Amino acid sequence: MILEIDYGNTRLKWRLISFTQEIMHKGAAQDLREFDSQLKDLVAGKVVFCRACSVRGKVENLCLAELIERHYCIAVQFAQSVKVLAGVTNGYADESQLGVDRWLAVVAAYEQIQGACVVIDCGTAITVDYVADDGRHLGGCIAPGQRLMCNALNLNTQLLVDTKRINHVRGLSLGDNTQDGIAVGINTMMVGFIKEQVRIAEEVVGSSFVVISAGGDGGLVSTVVEGALCDEDLVFSGLAIACPYVQLSF
């Protein structure tokens, strides 16, 4: 089996898949200690390959690699942002500076759409990337996500934000209490941001493109953009393209 890891800013997502891409197990952990505990419940001998997308630093990646080595006696293959992959040309002047999670999502989206697309990943941050019809990555933008906006209010005001309210006020234009007011405000900022990205896309990639979303809050995009696709496994799909498993035969 193949172990896939998406080591993000706030949590580590993983899944165990068969060689035919069937998902056997999956989970999420807040840190490597929790991930280590989760792996103890899996059958170690059946994992023969591990690939990872990580936005963490060298020390944390080394700790992850040591953890996998301890459990399965295999090395982790870490994906990297490169200049060209699967028909997509990286739009950054220094391709290595494009976050690898963004890069993998862009590659997977283009592989799926085979045409112009806008990739909106709503996680800790909201990242948006534009891809032309010929696979040229045109660049993108980064903004605070829902959680970061909530944290900003918690840290810098006397307000205590109820994050659960945000998903329940969609459709409201005004709040009649403080918590609903906060929720409406944050939701409106996210909706307005998404709409603006679609407007920009019409300018830079033309009138024909597909919006595809990912991330924990990616479902919001589908409520704002008609016809938008939502793919929670977009980064994992890109990871499989960047780090394919090659079974050796002797």
Write the pLDDT tens digit of every residue in 145-180: 888 888 888 777 777 766 666 666 666 677 777 778
Low-confidence residues in the chain, pLDDT < 70: 43-45, 161-172, 248-250
Q: What is the pLDDT of residue 162?
A: 66
Domains 2-78 and 84-234 share a fold: yes
| DSSP assigned state of 54 | E
Q: What is the pLDDT of residue 15?
A: 95
Query: What Å distances lie between residue 93 and 72, 89, 114, 126, 139, CA to CA?
Result: 38, 11, 24, 21, 10
Q: Give the containing element (helix H, strand E) for 203.
A: helix 178-204
CATH no. for 2-78: 3.30.420.40
For residues 216 and 102, what is the distance between their CA atoms, to the nearest angstrom?
14
Percent above pLDDT 70 for the chain: 92
Q: What is the pLDDT of residue 250?
A: 44
Could you list the residues known to form a binding site for K(+), using ranges: 121
The number of angstroms, rounded, from the C-alpha of 189 to the middle of its chain's C-alpha atoms is 20
Domain 84-234 is found in CATH 3.40.1800.10: no
Query: Would you please indicate which residues are annotated as catalytic (active-site) residues?
Result: 101
Q: What is the pLDDT of residue 248?
A: 58
Could you list the residues known to form a binding site for substrate, using ranges: 92, 99-102, 178
**Sequence spans of domains, the chain:** 2-78, 84-234
Q: What is the pLDDT of residue 167?
A: 63
Q: What is the pLDDT of residue 14?
A: 96
Write the pLDDT tens digit of every residue in 31-63: 999 999 998 877 656 899 999 999 999 999 999
Could you list the residues known to form a binding site, using ranges: 6-13, 92, 99-102, 121, 124, 178
